[in-house]
Amino acid sequence: MKRSTVLVWTLLSFLPAVACQRAADSGSTAASAAPTPPVPPAVGDGPGDFLLRYFTPATGELVAVAARADVPEGARGQVLVAPQDPAKLGPWLYVADLTKKAGNHYEVRVVNRADLERQVAAARPAPKPEPAAAVAPPVVADGEVVLYRTSWCGYCKKTAEYLTLKGVPFVEKDLERDPGAREDMLARAAKAGVGQDGLQGVPILAIRGKIIAGFDRNAIDQALR
């Protein structure tokens, strides 16, 4: 199994799967009610009843830590929260923004894992017939814009929307699903003089030989000038 495939299933299944129960047949088929999202874990500065997992594009791995201070600054905008409370498990993913704090706790949004799987399946291109001869994948020129992202990253979506709003053509590459995406990103970063410490979190944006980590409108505008 390819590494990228293993990583995406690691992401989508790090919460236990919920067993499906067949509803009793009452003579009529009723639509199943959508599950009600639970209250997300309260994430503060210290350790809690959860683990924090941040994505490292340079290695393609989810790293588990106990507290916010252990998450690199560049990765704090998109952090998966894995609660130990069984009541909060099931078909849910919890994504924390450790840069936005209200009172003693940080912003945590709840994502339905089944919805995310459907979105990933819908975004996956239809299989194409095998060509008669092997054809090398298209090479993205240095002058083009490449957005390296993951399926669960909210700021990646905002970056794509901002580029679209500005009328900037760009190529999207999923760091967990697309073969060669991570290697391509690392090659561009090395050419731009950016080491692994500058590649924490997603999105990673390559614009005209420059590397931008995170969603930064001002940095994008400057790189496009």
Q: Are 6 and 83 in contact (CB under 8 A)?
A: no
Question: Which tens digits make up the pLDDT trace of 158-174?
Answer: 999 999 998 999 999 99
* Cα–Cα distance measured from residue 48 to residue 67, given in angstroms and rounded to the nearest whole number: 8
Average pLDDT of the segment spanning 116-145: 56
Listed by start position, the domains of the chain span 3-16+38-119, 145-224
DSSP state of 205: E
This prediction has a pTM of 0.57
Q: Find out if CATH 3.40.30.10 is the number for domain 145-224.
A: yes
Sheet holding 61-65, edge to edge: 61-65, 50-56, 79-83, 92-102, 105-112
Q: Which two tokens mark 149?
A: 């992202």
Q: At what angle do helices 113-123 and 3-12 cross, to 10 degrees?
A: 150
Better-predicted residue by pLDDT, 114 or 41:
41
Q: Say which range, 23-37, 56-70, 95-109, has the weakest mean pLDDT.
A: 23-37
DSSP string, 75-100: GTTSEEEEE--GGG-SSEEEEEEEEE
Q: How far is CA 165 from the centre of its chain?
A: 21
Residues 99, 178, 98, CA angle at the centre, nearest 5°? Answer: 10
Three-state secondary structure call for residue 178: coil
Q: Using omega within 30 degrees of 0 as the cis cutoff, is the peptide bond preceding 47 cis?
A: no
Strands 204-207 and 170-174: unpaired
pLDDT at 55 > cutoff 60 = yes
Report d(CA 90, CA 19) in Å as an integer. Answer: 9
Whether the Cβ atoms of residue 49 and residue 42 lie closer than 8 Å to each other: no
pLDDT in tens, 90-122: 788 889 999 999 999 999 988 887 776 666 566
More confident residue, 142 or 155: 155
